[in-house]
């Protein structure tokens, strides 16, 4: 993987003056340039529009002359603001000297980078730094074609931050750090944070994000995938929101129209295009992470994967899991290749230009998929946990769960692997001897025709975490309802057998599979 071109991007603030970042931070917080302050100023619709890169509602809400309105215009809406207004609220000369602000002509100043307030999980006032222009393009896409442009926080960033297991650890690695958001989260619960990126600009921006958020500096290293990690280095936690987009790697034939002759059809965008072809980058990342994990450590990724004609997508993913790791892989969404190509063409703003050029690009995406026999692309989460003992038989769960979940899910992910351990250690006889408790906030739903005496299905539904729903039979529903930890599972089944007039031995024989499933999916938890 070669170097990343950043020549067409603006100069970044210096990382050599942490005292300026600290003063800037104090001034921003002092003026309520925080997630809560923004919501109060803008109101929910304009605030939500900003997250969609739409700035018009916020421009309308910041026509006044308060310090906060000046900061929103400067750092979020990327409008020039008169020097005197900025000087009222920021240490302006220091900010100009160290490159946070630049002269915009006349007596106006402009921001050199996008600075976005971001509320941490415990109400921390954090700030995410990113490149100008990438969060103000609205429906037009990111608005930059520079290869090394560094984006701020997107839906994928917060999804990964939400699913990450947040137990205190000694060492964490954020691979492909970008704006530094994952490193910032990791700094709360990891003694040492290493952040890597193939793009040096991203490492610079991560340093700015951490400094402006008042977080400890990270160990920043440039390079592709695990290249920057020494052979003897392992981690308790690895997180990566990698450049997972499955994009064309070959240029289409040159377009015939004169106007298109000079336009490069595919500018690689480092934040999304891994450049390895197909889903190879995600596969390589997942496979190589096994030997970088400490025993009991977690590696968590967002990824895209190909659905290839004649191949089971779940088998494809199972083959990615490195030896010695349990895995939980959740497919959250599947898009056919046309939806997928359109999504990423729009993301880059390719739909805004010349129609023939757009069509040539679209065609090239479909050519790429056709050549790989790809019918659709899956998007989801991959979590690995390295086994504590080398002889443990790994458990790999690959499932589809496209329904809404309750973030943050870090605790639910950790609990999943605890249940995996429990079930691995308990055979059916041990399950029947064990005591279980119905997890809080599980409800029962009965589905059937109106007026029918018996429901067609009984469904147990969780209102927390993964918000799973699972069909059970009447024995399963009755069993779950009685589980309060006092009676052993076998004793409960004997009582149910008596009630329904079934042979207790037969019930003891056939029910453990259902108990196993209810424990695996987190409806029942072992008591004591
Ligand atoms: C989708 S962005 C994620 C940024 C950030 N971690 C987040 O969660 O928002 C992917 C990042 O991976 C970096 N990257 C691209 N190719 C890489 C590679 N081969 N090795 C390491 N990082 C890479 C990009 O420069 C970019 O910063």
Write out pLDDT tens, residues 13-41: 999 999 999 999 999 999 999 999 999 99
**Residue 152 near residue 128, CB atoms below 8 Å:** yes
For ligand 1, whether the C-beta of 159 sits within 6 Å is: no
Pairing of strands 442-447, 435-438: unpaired
Pairing of strands 81-82, 108-111: antiparallel
Structure-block tokens of residue 510: 């056939």
pLDDT digits (tens, 9 = 90+) for 274-301: 888 899 999 999 999 999 999 999 999 9
pLDDT bucket at 252, cuts 50 / 70 / 90: low
Instruction: Give the DSSP H/E element, type plus range, for residue 18.
Output: helix 18-30
Distance 176 CA to ligand 1 centre (A): 3
For ligand 1, whether the C-beta of 241 sits within 6 Å is: yes
CA 408 to chain centre: 11
Distance 201 CA to ligand 1 centre (A): 11
Distance 35 CA to ligand 1 centre (A): 25
For ligand 1, whether the C-beta of 1 sits within 6 Å is: yes
Distance 111 CA to ligand 1 centre (A): 24
DSSP 357-377: HHHHHHHHHHHHHHHTTEEEE
pLDDT at position 1 is 42
Average pLDDT value for residue range 150-173:
96
Give the strands of the sheet with 101-103, arranged side by side: 81-82, 108-111, 101-103
Looking from the CA of residue 177, the nearest atom of ligand 1 is 6
What pairs with residue 262 in β-bridges? Answer: none
Does the domain at 148-250+268-344+380-399 match CATH 2.60.40.10? Answer given as: no
Looking from the CA of residue 4, the nearest atom of ligand 1 is 25
pLDDT bucket at 373, cuts 50 / 70 / 90: very high
Position of tokens 């975490």? 465
Spatial distance between the Cα atoms of 401 and 398, rounded to a whole number of angstroms: 10
pLDDT at position 250 is 61
Spatial distance between the Cα atoms of 155 and 164, rounded to a whole number of angstroms: 14
For ligand 1, whether the C-beta of 321 sits within 6 Å is: no
Distance 191 CA to ligand 1 centre (A): 22
Q: Which residue puts its alpha carbon closest to atom 18 of ligand 1? A: 224
Q: Per-domain residue ranges for the chain?
A: 148-250+268-344+380-399, 426-526
Query: What does the buried/exposed string (b/e) look like for 97-127 if buried means 16 or more CB atoms within 10 Å of the residue's CB?
Result: ebbbbbebeeebbbbbbbbbbbebeeebbbb
CA 410 to chain centre: 12
Give the strands of the sheet with 484-488, arranged side by side: 484-488, 435-438, 524-526
User: Helix, strand, or coil here: 491?
Assistant: helix
What pairs with residue 183 in β-bridges? Answer: none
pTM attached to this predicted model: 0.94
For ligand 1, whether the C-beta of 243 sits within 6 Å is: yes
For ligand 1, whether the C-beta of 178 sits within 6 Å is: yes
Terminal-to-terminal C-alpha distance of the chain: 52
Distance 297 CA to ligand 1 centre (A): 22
pLDDT at position 103 is 95
For ligand 1, whether the C-beta of 198 sits within 6 Å is: yes
Pairing of strands 396-400, 374-386: unpaired
Q: Which residue puts its alpha carbon closest to atom 12 of ligand 1? A: 176
Q: Residue 256: is its pLDDT beyond 60?
A: no
What pairs with residue 329 in β-bridges? Answer: 382, 398
Distance 54 CA to ligand 1 centre (A): 24
Q: Which residue puts its alpha carbon closest to atom 7 of ligand 1? A: 157
Spatial distance between the Cα atoms of 267 and 254, rounded to a whole number of angstroms: 14
pLDDT at position 253 is 52
pLDDT at position 267 is 65
Integer-rounded Cα Rg, in Å, for the chain is 26
Position of tokens 């700030």? 127
Instruction: Give the DSSP H/E element, type plus range, for residue 84.
Output: helix 83-87
Q: Which residue puts its alpha carbon closest to atom 13 of ligand 1? A: 176
Q: Which residue puts its alpha carbon closest to atom 6 of ligand 1? A: 177
pLDDT at position 22 is 97
pLDDT bucket at 259, cuts 50 / 70 / 90: very low
Structure-block tokens of residue 283: 């596969």
Q: Residue 262: is its pLDDT beyond 60?
A: no
Alpha-carbon distance values, 334 to 69, 400, 405 (Å) = 41, 10, 17
Mutate to test the pocket of ligand 1, among 128, 185, 242, 246 (most ligand atoms within 8 A of CB): 242
Alpha-carbon distance values, 525 to 134, 253, 515 (Å) = 45, 59, 10
Spatial distance between the Cα atoms of 29 and 72, rounded to a whole number of angstroms: 12
Average confidence score pLDDT of the chain = 93
Picking from 45-49, 331-335, 343-347, which range would have the lowest pLDDT averaged per residue?
343-347
Position of tokens 């939806």? 339
**Residue 323 near residue 291, CB atoms below 8 Å:** no
pLDDT bucket at 266, cuts 50 / 70 / 90: low
For ligand 1, whether the C-beta of 157 sits within 6 Å is: yes
Looking from the CA of residue 174, the nearest atom of ligand 1 is 6
Q: Which CATH class is domain 426-526?
A: mainly alpha
Looking from the CA of residue 242, the nearest atom of ligand 1 is 10
Spatial distance between the Cα atoms of 360 and 206, rounded to a whole number of angstroms: 36
For ligand 1, whether the C-beta of 242 sits within 6 Å is: yes
Distance 274 CA to ligand 1 centre (A): 8
Alpha-carbon distance values, 407 to 322, 439, 465, 467 (Å) = 27, 18, 7, 10
- pLDDT over 90 percentage in the chain: 82
Q: Which residue puts its alpha carbon closest to atom 14 of ligand 1? A: 176
Picking from 60-64, 184-188, 233-237, 386-390, which range would have the lowest pLDDT averaged per residue?
386-390
Q: What are phi and psi of 400, to 5 degrees?
A: -110, 125
Pairing of strands 293-308, 190-197: unpaired
Structure-block tokens of residue 351: 């739909």
Spatial distance between the Cα atoms of 462 and 186, rounded to a whole number of angstroms: 29
Taking the CB of residue 414, how many other CB atoms lie within 10 A of it? 15
Structure-block tokens of residue 319: 């083959």
Q: Which residue puts its alpha carbon closest to atom 4 of ligand 1? A: 178
pLDDT at position 5 is 76
Structure-block tokens of residue 329: 């892989």
Q: Residue 255: is its pLDDT beyond 70?
A: no
Distance 238 CA to ligand 1 centre (A): 13
Distance 177 CA to ligand 1 centre (A): 6
């Amino acid at each position: 993987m070669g170097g990343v071109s950043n020549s067409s991007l603006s100069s970044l603030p210096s990382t050599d003056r942490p005292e300026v970042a600290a003063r800037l931070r104090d001034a921003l917080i002092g003026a309520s340039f925080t997630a809560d302050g923004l919501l109060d100023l803008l109101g929910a619709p304009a605030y939500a529009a900003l997250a969609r890169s739409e700035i018009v509602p916020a421009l309308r809400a910041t026509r006044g002359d308060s310090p906060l309105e000046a900061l929103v215009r400067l750092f979020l809406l990327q409008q020039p603001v008169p020097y005197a207004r900025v000087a009222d609220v920021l240490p302006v000369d220091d900010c100009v000297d160290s490159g946070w602000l630049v002269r915009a002509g006349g007596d106006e100043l402009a921001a050199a980078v996008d600075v976005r307030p971001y509320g941490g999980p415990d109400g921390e006032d954090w700030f995410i730094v990113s490149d100008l222009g990438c969060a103000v393009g609205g429906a037009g896409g990111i608005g930059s074609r520079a290869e090394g442009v560094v984006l701020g926080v997107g839906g994928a960033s917060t999804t990964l931050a939400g699913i990450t297991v947040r137990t205190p650890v000694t060492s964490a690695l954020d691979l492909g750090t970008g704006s530094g958001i994952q490193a910032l989260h990791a700094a709360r619960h990891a003694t040492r944070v290493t952040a890597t990126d193939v793009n040096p600009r991203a490492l610079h921006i991560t340093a700015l994000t951490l400094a402006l958020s008042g977080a400890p500096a990270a160990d920043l290293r440039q390079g592709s995938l695990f290249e920057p990690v020494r052979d003897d280095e392992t981690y308790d936690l690895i997180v990566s929101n990698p450049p997972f987009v499955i994009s064309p790697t070959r240029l289409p034939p040159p377009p015939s129209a004169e106007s298109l002759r000079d336009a490069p059809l595919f500018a690689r965008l480092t934040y999304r295009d891994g450049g390895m072809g197909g889903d190879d980058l995600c596969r390589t990342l997942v496979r190589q992470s096994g030997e970088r994990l400490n025993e009991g450590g977690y590696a968590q990724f967002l990824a895209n994967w190909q659905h290839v004609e004649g191949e089971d997508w779940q088998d494809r993913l199972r083959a990615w899991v490195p030896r010695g790791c349990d895995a939980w892989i959740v497919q959250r969404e599947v898009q056919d290749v046309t939806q997928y190509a359109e999504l990423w063409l729009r993301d880059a703003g390719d739909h805004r230009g010349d129609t023939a050029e757009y069509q040539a690009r679209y065609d090239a995406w479909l050519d790429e998929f056709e050549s790989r026999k790809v019918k659709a692309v899956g998007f989801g989460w991959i979590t690995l946990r390295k086994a504590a003992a080398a002889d443990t038989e790994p458990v790999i769960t690959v499932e589809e769960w496209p329904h809404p979940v309750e973030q943050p899910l870090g605790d639910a992910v950790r609990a999943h692997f605890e249940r995996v351990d429990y079930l691995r250690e308990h055979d059916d006889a041990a399950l029947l001897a064990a005591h279980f408790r119905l997890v809080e906030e599980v409800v029962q739903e009965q589905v059937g025709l109106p007026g029918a005496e018996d429901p067609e299905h009984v469904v147990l539904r969780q209102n927390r975490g993964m918000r799973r729903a699972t069909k059970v039979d009447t024995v399963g529903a009755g069993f779950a309802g009685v589980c309060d930890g006092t009676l052993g599972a076998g004793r409960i089944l004997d009582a149910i057998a008596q009630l329904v007039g079934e042979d207790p031995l037969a019930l003891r024989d056939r029910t453990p599979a259902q108990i196993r499933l209810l424990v695996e999916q987190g409806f029942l938890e072992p008591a004591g």
